[in-house]
Structure 1
Amino acid sequence: MFKYVIAVLAIILTGISPALAKRVALVIGNGAYEHTVPLPNPANDAEQMASKLRGLGFDVVAGQDQSYTDMRRTVMEFAKKAYGAEIALLFYAGHGMQVGGQNLLVPIDAKIEDETSLDFETISVDFILRQMSKDVKVQMVFLDACRDNPLARTLARRMGPSRSGNVGAGLAEIKVDDAGGEGSVIAFATSPGDVALDGEGSNSPFTSALVRHIDTPNASIQTIMTRVTGDVYEETEKRQRPWVNASLIGEVILNKTETGPTTDVAALGNAATSVPQAAAPAASSAATQSTIAWEREKLVWNTVKDSKTIADYQAYLDAYPNGTFANFARNSIKRLESANQVAAVNPAVVPGATATPAPAGLPDPQAAVPGTPETEAALGWNRTARRQVQTRLNLAGHNVGRPDGAFGPKTRAGVTNWQLANGISATGYFTPAQYSLLTAQTAGQYAAYQEEVARKQKAAAASRSTTQRRTNTTTTTRRTNNNNNNGGGMNPAGAAFIGGVLGGVIGGAIGR
């Protein structure tokens, strides 16, 4: 009995052991969408997060590329396990949307044809949060679901102008009280209402940083999310800043490593809660070395992050091939190589500019560089420029319909077909080098097209001028006639009447 009391006291004084705490996680990654733009990274994101969480002692309920029915079943399994958990965690990567301030996760078979579809084809985040608040001490939510979602735009168009404002970009803010009270952490890949990047590597920038830091020994979740936010902000060139809202009454440490007995009670022989004294200096030394290594790497990165030279980024990769900023360094190298290639092929390619003679195609390295929403966004096209791109695709023989500046499914299919025809990685999105090639290929046709448009505009203007002159002439003639009829004294009927009267008067006078 005495040993039992000692063991209980040791647990109270040293905290709940990770081995005894009940930790449950729901991890879902949806990318293979059937009715909208697929996403390459969510399945990888979910797989790596599930593996990392299992290593931290979580009972993980995981699903990848799930339909509506699959997601409901997975959430139900999670809800049953999460009841009474010390920590319940949700991680979701994939398409998401907000309608009227409500956040919705999108299964891969969703069509979202109208508002009715929302109740029967999406899963509400609030619904999952309710499952995480049943006698759960700490709730953690990580949503990498703020990606650009064409289904949301389709729904907004069909809702009409009066209600389309209910469909917002990105996700809506979640108040911590909504997730179960004081012990909550809510983290978005980017700020509420903003759109996050899917990334050019095998993982999104947010998930890459989260996987990198979440198992940091003896680091609180607040510290971890501060590091995640900093990494994403730097790796996306300050285009994306994760958003975190936490309400915790103390520190929550997911990877707590003991550094030695904390009290005399714990040292009385309870093997489950005590660690040999010799372990403390070793653990402390390891933590110090880890901090020094991190600061050193960060210093090197700060030196090269704004460089315009490939060699500088490569120097960082040589020193830290698996470093914190390795993916960003590789992306920077790709971007610089692409820019160099564009300059070599066509030094002044801008939408509407006259291009140089068409090259045979892109060099092999550029043909292998896949286009992404990010590489296309870097071109900075406005609506007029997008119409020009659509016109060039039509001229190249890949019909995308009437150029309207909106890159919908038909335009994306046209881009994909053009890429396939040129032996380029077919993604439906342009890189700068690919746009340079399209511009060069269609230089002659586009110049002829512009001449024809100018000729028609001139002819239309001449026709309008002629019509206006005729209208003016007719109007002038009518006014002249009116003036002659009215200003000359009287109209013919009036003249006849007066003439008859005068004739009668004269005739009477003669007759008398």
Structure 2
Amino acid sequence: MFKHLIAVLVIALAGTSPALAKRVALVLGNGAYEHTVALPNPANDAEVMAGKLRGLGFDVVSGMDQTYSDMRRTVMEFAKKAYGADIAVLFYAGHGMQIAGQNLLIPVDARIEDETSIDFETISVDFIMRQMSKDVKVQMVFLDACRDNPLARTLARRMGPSRSGSVGTGLAEIKVQETGGEGSVIAFSTSPGDVALDGEGSNSPFTSALIRHIDTPNASIQTVMTRVTGDVYDATEKRQRPWVNASLIGEVFLNKQADADSQQVASLGDTAKTAPQATAPAASAAATQSTIAWEREKLVWNTVKESDTIADYEAYLSAYPEGTFKNFARNAIKRLQSGTQVASRNSTAADQATETGVATTATNLPDPKKLVAGTADTEASIGWNRTARREVQTRLNLTGNNVGRPDGAFGPKTRAGITTWQTQNGLVPSGYFTAAQYVLLTSQTEAQYAAYVAEVNRKRAAAAAAKKTRSSTTRANTATNRNQNTRQQNNNNNGGNTAGAAFMGGVVGGIIGGAIGSRY
């Protein structure tokens, strides 16, 4: 049934847009690192950037949280499409490092234990750029990969002092090379050798500024990057300044539109620089159709995501085999097939908040009443460990449904508490959670749970301080007793020595006296 709905949506809203230029983009975002510090924003950065570029008429090859093998396959797919492109773009967000001036992008499964890892666990930026130089007119590279990387420090330590200097902080400058095209634009999120900020929002400062300006009508890429640099510099209180190296023979416009004073489009990357007057309306129509296509895909994805079933994710992939959310759909299918699921705060509601920028509240959560009743299987699919189960029990207690002391074991009392809570919220009282129900419970108790955690932390800190005080007192008393015992022992030793001296003196005196008496 839902497959037919997707088909209807695609057909009803579909429209063909005239291809004025061949535009291809590779968009990668790695944040879920397995062996080093995870980054919260790269997947969000890549997802939003992919949508922006699609809206500008780019054929986007994207990948989020990819392993080394995944990245190799994604780059290969991009390389095949990029051949002969008018504009080819690389956008990467995630961990990166430089070794002896060579910039490397880090897959999520990299360990970087020694120098061998460089060749077999990382992807070189130079390697990707070679794929962008095959009969490509304009190359654009955006690297939001200068974040602090513990893997680089680990590698530097293991290389030893004589060679560790080749491991640099941040990324190294990329020199523009002549490829026979119309030029290149290379942009780093910060200056070469510096470390960029990941940001406190859902996107990094650099990506936030880039997506804000990249589709500005009639703004050249040179102007766009000037504005991006200014925004990042201000947003980071002058701590981060993007670095841009451009070598173009003219202005490049990603969103050229007709204005009152111009009847034609002269943009690098278009099929002709001296296009007829009809070109400008066509360009505007193309941009409009791209935007409609993006909104259509987003509508379908939101519907699929709310359903959260294998059949619907497969239907999305069938309709959009190269869609923006293809990797998320594939991951969701794997999750559902394996019977595991990330805690629901990272599921439907969190995904919706990421896409729309709306905070996760009870007003924008999926309606649990419209979903299936909880069963042992739906609860197991959430993937709680014992700590997470204790948190659930605590939250149930905070709603007034006493399930006893949180111990991570869902016995009869906990099941009864779940049933009562479900009844109170108009849900099927099964005694077992679904992911959507857990999101609802979390949203209901967010403030109380935060206060509870704060109080627990306060008591732990007070207990630790008291223990420290008792320990200090004990050490002081021990030292005092030790000093007293030492003084008493010294006194005893001194008394013993005096008596001994007197005794020995008497003995010696008697011997001497006897000797004198016998002699005289």
Equivalent position of 1:34 in the other structure: 34
Contact between 2:256 and 2:265, CA under 8 Å: does it hold in 1? no
Corresponding position: 1:442 with 2:464: yes
Structure 1 residue 239: deviation in Å? 1.5
Contact between 1:215 and 1:255, CA under 8 Å: does it hold in 2? yes
Equivalent position of 2:66 in the other structure: 66
Alignment of 1:86-485 (within 5 A): 86-177=86-177, 183-260=183-260, 262=262, 272-273=278-279, 442-447=464-469
Q: Residues 257 and 120 (structure 1 numbering): CA distance in 2 closer, same or farther, change over 3 Å?
A: same
Q: Which runs of 5+ in 1 are unaligned?
A: 1-16, 280-325, 328-363, 365-421, 426-430, 459-512
Q: What code does the residue aligned with 1:50 have?
A: A
Q: Which SS does the other structure have where 1:170 is aligned? A: coil
Contact between 2:264 and 2:277, CA under 8 Å: does it hold in 1? no
Q: Which SS does the other structure have where 1:244 is aligned? A: strand
Q: What code does the residue aligned with 1:119 have?
A: D
Contact between 1:129 and 1:179, CA under 8 Å: does it hold in 2? no
Corresponding position: 1:82 with 2:104: no
- CA deviations on 1:446-469 (whole Å, 9 max, x unpaired) are 4566778999999xxxxxxxxxxx
CA root-mean-square deviation? 4.1
Q: Which SS does the other structure have where 1:91 is aligned? A: strand
Between the aligned partners of 1:23 and 1:191, the Cα distance in structure 2 is: 28
Between the aligned partners of 1:40 and 1:261, the Cα distance in structure 2 is: 45
Q: Which SS does the other structure have where 1:152 is aligned? A: helix
Between the aligned partners of 2:458 and 2:240, the Cα distance in structure 1 is: 28
Contact between 2:264 and 2:279, CA under 8 Å: does it hold in 1? no
Structure 1 residue 19: deviation in Å? 3.5
Between the aligned partners of 1:264 and 1:73, the Cα distance in structure 2 is: 40
Between the aligned partners of 1:108 and 1:173, the Cα distance in structure 2 is: 24
Q: Residues 25 and 263 (structure 1 numbering): CA distance in 2 closer, same or farther, change over 3 Å?
A: closer
Structure 1 residue 272: deviation in Å? 3.2
Q: Residues 158 and 183 (structure 1 numbering): CA distance in 2 closer, same or farther, change over 3 Å?
A: same
- CA deviations on 1:43-64 (whole Å, 9 max, x unpaired) are 1100000000000011100011
Contact between 1:99 and 1:166, CA under 8 Å: does it hold in 2? yes
Between the aligned partners of 2:456 and 2:94, the Cα distance in structure 1 is: 27
Equivalent position of 1:477 in the other structure: none
Between the aligned partners of 2:189 and 2:254, the Cα distance in structure 1 is: 20
Between the aligned partners of 1:70 and 1:150, the Cα distance in structure 2 is: 22
Between the aligned partners of 1:57 and 1:448, the Cα distance in structure 2 is: 69
- CA deviations on 1:290-339 (whole Å, 9 max, x unpaired) are xxxxxxxxxxxxxxxxxxxxxxxxxxxxxxxxxxxx99xxxxxxxxxxxx
Q: Which SS does the other structure have where 2:91 is aligned? A: strand
Q: Which SS does the other structure have where 2:279 is aligned? A: coil
Between the aligned partners of 1:423 and 1:124, the Cα distance in structure 2 is: 45
Q: Which runs of 5+ in 2 are unaligned?
A: 1-16, 267-274, 285-356, 359-394, 396-447, 481-520
Between the aligned partners of 2:197 and 2:276, the Cα distance in structure 1 is: 49
Between the aligned partners of 1:123 and 1:450, the Cα distance in structure 2 is: 54
Q: Which SS does the other structure have where 2:151 is aligned? A: helix
Between the aligned partners of 2:116 and 2:242, the Cα distance in structure 1 is: 31
Q: Residues 176 and 437 (structure 1 numbering): CA distance in 2 closer, same or farther, change over 3 Å?
A: farther
Q: Which SS does the other structure have where 1:442 is aligned? A: helix
Q: Residues 455 and 93 (structure 1 numbering): CA distance in 2 closer, same or farther, change over 3 Å?
A: farther
Q: Residues 83 and 455 (structure 1 numbering): CA distance in 2 closer, same or farther, change over 3 Å?
A: farther
Relative contact order, higher structure (CA 8 A, sep 6+) = 2
Q: Which SS does the other structure have where 1:24 is aligned? A: strand
Q: Residues 194 and 445 (structure 1 numbering): CA distance in 2 closer, same or farther, change over 3 Å?
A: farther
Q: Residues 160 and 245 (structure 1 numbering): CA distance in 2 closer, same or farther, change over 3 Å?
A: same
Between the aligned partners of 1:207 and 1:434, the Cα distance in structure 2 is: 38
Q: Residues 247 and 443 (structure 1 numbering): CA distance in 2 closer, same or farther, change over 3 Å?
A: same
Structure 1 residue 235: deviation in Å? 1.2
Q: Which SS does the other structure have where 1:31 is aligned? A: coil
Q: Residues 248 and 156 (structure 1 numbering): CA distance in 2 closer, same or farther, change over 3 Å?
A: same
Q: Residues 117 and 219 (structure 1 numbering): CA distance in 2 closer, same or farther, change over 3 Å?
A: same
Q: Residues 20 and 225 (structure 1 numbering): CA distance in 2 closer, same or farther, change over 3 Å?
A: same
Percent identity (aligned): 75
Structure 1 residue 435: deviation in Å? 10
